[in-house]
Amino acid sequence: MPAALITGASTGIGREFAYLCAHAGYDVILTARSQPRLEELASDVRQRTGRKAFPIPSDLADPRSARQLYEQVLGLDVAMEVLINNAGFGLVGRFWELDEDEQMQMIQLNMGALTHLTRLFLPDLIARRRGYILNVGSTAAFQPGPLMSVYYATKAYVVSFSEALHNEARDYGVKVTCLCPGPTSTEFDKRSGASGTKLFKGGNVMSPLSVAQLGWDALQAGKPLVVAGGLNALMAFLTRFAPRQLAASMARRMQEQK
C-alpha cells in the first residue's frame, strides 16, 4: 500500500496531516521527538482509519537524523508516495541574545532536514513518475522578520526552494507544494516565545485542521504555493509591493509583546 511520511507529526498541523493522509488511503509513517505522543497518535490513527501507522522517534535537528530516518523507512518495505516536511520551530528575541545552539538547530531543522529528506526520497518518486511533497513554510517567508530574524529567513528559503522544485519535478509526475500558515493554534507559539506577541493576540489564529486541509487540497491540485487564510494571503501579497524596510518594521511590531 502507498505510504506517507509526516515530520513533526506528534502535534498541531502535523498531527492533522496524519489523519488526512490515513483517511485518504495511505499508511502513515510518523516522526517527531516524542515517542509517547507518536505511539498515542499511531494507535489512534489505526483505530479511527484502519490504516497502518509506524511511529519513528527522531530529532531532525541532528544533521545525521535525516539519513537515519530514510534508512528506517526503507526497512519498512512500504511504497513511499507522500512526503510532508512539517517539522520546524522559531524563536522570538534579538538575534545576538538568543541561544547560539538553538538557532543552529533551527536552521538545521527548518532548512537542512527538509532539504535532505526531499533529496533522499525524491529520486524514487521521480522514477515511479508519481508522488507528492508538501513543505510547510510560513507567512513569515514574505518579509524580513526583526525579533525572529533567523526563523523568517529559514521560511523564505522553504518557499523559494519549494517553488523551484515544483517547476523541476512537475514534468516527472511529482507534485510539490509549499503551505504557508499564519498564526495557528499549535504549540509553536509556546516553543518560540511568541504567545504574548501581537501576532498571536490579534485574534486571527487558525485551527491546525483547517490549515492542514488547505495544504492537502492544494497538494492534490498541484498548486506550487498556498497561503492559509484569506487575510494572510492578502497580507502576503501586499508585502511584495511594500518597501523592504517598511515590511520589516511592520513585522517587528507584530513580534513585540503586547
Range list of H helices, the chain: 12-23, 35-49, 65-75, 100-107, 114-128, 149-169, 188-192, 198-201, 208-221, 230-239, 244-255
Question: What does the pLDDT look like over 189-200, one tens digit per residue?
Answer: 556 455 555 555
Helix 12-23, helix 208-221: angle, nearest 10: 50
The answer to whether 14 touches 8, Cβ cutoff 8 Å, is yes
48 against 258, higher pLDDT: 48
C-alpha cell at 43: 494507535
The CATH number linked to 55 is 3.40.50.720
pLDDT class for 50, splitting at 50, 70, 90?
A: very high
Q: Which of 34, 42, 93 is nearest to 60 (CA)?
A: 34
Question: What does the pLDDT look like over 57-91, one tens digit per residue?
Answer: 999 999 999 999 999 999 998 999 999 999 999 99
Q: Which of 34, 52, 33, 41 is nearest to 15 (CA)?
A: 41
245 against 28, higher pLDDT: 28
- How many domains does the chain contain in total? 1
- Residue 144: per-residue pLDDT: 86
Residue with cell 538557532: 103
Q: Which domain holds residue 171?
A: 2-255
Residue with cell 504555493: 225
Residue with cell 517553488: 163
In sequence order, the 6+-apart residues with CB closer than 8 A to the CB of 128 are: 173
- Residue 53: per-residue pLDDT: 98
- Residue 217: per-residue pLDDT: 98
Q: Which of 148, 143, 139 is nearest to 178 (CA)?
A: 139
- Residue 252: per-residue pLDDT: 57
pLDDT class for 48, splitting at 50, 70, 90?
A: very high
Residue with cell 511590531: 253
pLDDT class for 136, splitting at 50, 70, 90?
A: very high
Active-site positions read: 151, 155
Mean pLDDT of 178-182: 96
Query: Which own/partner contact pairs does 127-130 have at CB distance under 8 Å and 24+ positions apart?
Result: 128/173, 129/172, 129/173, 129/174, 130/81, 130/173, 130/174
* Number of Cβ atoms within 10 Å of the Cβ of 172: 14
Instruction: Name the β-bridge partners of 80.
Output: 3
CA–CA separation, 154 vs 145, rounded Å?
11
C-alpha cell at 15: 498531527
Query: In the predicted model, is pLDDT for residue 177 greater than 80?
Result: yes
* Number of Cβ atoms within 10 Å of the Cβ of 168: 12
Q: 206: which DSSP letter?
A: B
Q: Is 126 exposed, middle or buried (0-12, 13-18, 19+ CB in 10 A)?
A: middle
- Residue 91: per-residue pLDDT: 95
The answer to whether 85 touches 117, Cβ cutoff 8 Å, is yes
Question: What does the pLDDT look like over 202-256, one tens digit per residue?
Answer: 567 889 999 999 999 999 999 999 999 777 767 766 677 555 675 555 655 666 6
Q: Which of 74, 88, 89, 61 is nearest to 29 (CA)?
A: 74
CA–CA separation, 164 vs 169, rounded Å?
9
Question: What does the pLDDT look like over 111-120, one tens digit per residue?
Answer: 999 999 999 9
